[in-house]
Amino acid sequence: QSSLGLKELDELYQTSWIISTFVGPSEYGMTRRQRIHIASTICRNLIEKIQRDVEGVIPKKKTDHSTDSEDEQDGLRLNPDFMEDDTVADVIKTRLYFSSESHILSVLNTLRYCHLINEGGTCDSDVASSPGNEQLFSNEAQKIMNEFAEYDYLSQIVIKVYEDLTMIECDDNMDRFSMEIGVSPGVAGDAMADYKNEAAEDDGRKARDIVPIKWLHGDHRIPVKTFFKLMRNVSAFVEKQRSEMLAGRGMDFSTKVEAQKMQSFVSTEDSD
């Protein structure tokens, strides 16, 4: 809008961007405990959905008592009515989740700091890691994530699950599976600089590049069992925080549910 005569727009944008790189992430906590508390509360349902989907692609170990129908029920499957190629496996092994920047930040903070939570659902942010827990992300990956100022368009978190076919099947089939976790903060470059270059060249709008995915697990993949354990700790942590909040208000969870039912009943009566 050159007709508006906004000569300081570039400076306003640059100043606002610098402020947002601090204010934005700070909304999700200043300390590690604040970050894991806020993040896990926001994205608990999404984290649990991801965990269930990872479990869904891991085949159950067959036993002498298992039936073919039980084996066929492992994981989600494609509708055969819409499959043109009968030779393609019908088990769904890819999941796509579309969410907001707030959930991307929350999922990443949960994965970054989940090792601070122990099995009892308590968090000790004064130690490097809760006893018996491993970090999902390497120390080098933590530094890389600190360099991400914002998560722009097409930001993505990629989780890959691998099966080690060289391992002999055992009672605990989870040992054969491991994970890789990567992240990209989306489009790269300076939007204002790109706009000026496009206006000067007058050759149409150009596509901006995507920041390549950075893999955060270090030299070794993450055992699926470790991921599941840490995510169970996160769920226990959120549940404990909620119970303590309700206890502080003089009600337990069952009382809250009954109160919600009563409120719903009263609302229905009023509408009638």
Give the model's pLDDT for residue 254. Answer: 52
Confidence of residue 188 (pLDDT cuts 50, 70, 90): confident
**SS3 of residue 184 by DSSP:** strand
Whether 219 shows a pLDDT value over 50: the answer reads yes
Residue 121 CB partners (closer than 8 Å, separation 6+): 233, 236, 237, 239, 240
Whether 139 shows a pLDDT value over 50: the answer reads yes
Pairing mode, if any, of strands 214-215 and 177-184? antiparallel
pLDDT tens for 9-52 read 778 878 888 888 788 778 888 888 889 999 999 998 999 999 98
Winning range, highest mean pLDDT, from 121-135, 154-168, 196-210, 238-252: 154-168
Provide, rounded to the nearest whole percent, the portion of the chain with pLDDT above 70.
Answer: 67
Give the model's pLDDT for residue 144. Answer: 86
Tally of residues, the chain: 272
Average pLDDT of the chain? 76
pTM listed for this prediction: 0.73
Element (H, E) at 46: helix 32-56
Measured distance CA(204)–CA(61) in Å, rounded? 57
pLDDT tens for 162-183 read 988 888 766 567 888 999 999 9
Do 145 and 184 touch, CB atoms closer than 8 A?
no
pLDDT tens for 57-107 read 887 665 555 444 444 445 566 666 766 766 666 667 788 899 888 899 999
Structural tokens at position 50: 């991801």
Say how many C-beta atoms besides its own lie within 10 A of residue 243's C-beta: 13
Structural tokens at position 99: 């969410």
**Phi, psi values for residue 160, rounded to 5°:** -110, 140
Give the model's pLDDT for residue 161. Answer: 92
Helix pair angle (32-56, 224-248), 10° resolution: 130
* Dihedral sign for Cα atoms in the order 146, 147, 152, 158: negative
Give the model's pLDDT for residue 110. Answer: 93
Give the model's pLDDT for residue 17. Answer: 80
**Phi, psi values for residue 135, rounded to 5°:** -70, 135
Say how many C-beta atoms besides its own lie within 10 A of residue 263's C-beta: 10
Provide, rounded to the nearest whole percent, the portion of the chain with pLDDT above 90.
Answer: 20
Helices (H) and strands (E) in the chain, counts: 8, 4
Distance set, CA 173 to CA 12, 60, 67, 108, 118 (Å): 56, 7, 18, 27, 24
Give the model's pLDDT for residue 224. Answer: 92
Winning range, highest mean pLDDT, from 155-159, 202-206, 208-212: 155-159
State the Cα torsion 143-148-151-155 to the nearest 10°.
-60
Give the model's pLDDT for residue 266. Answer: 41
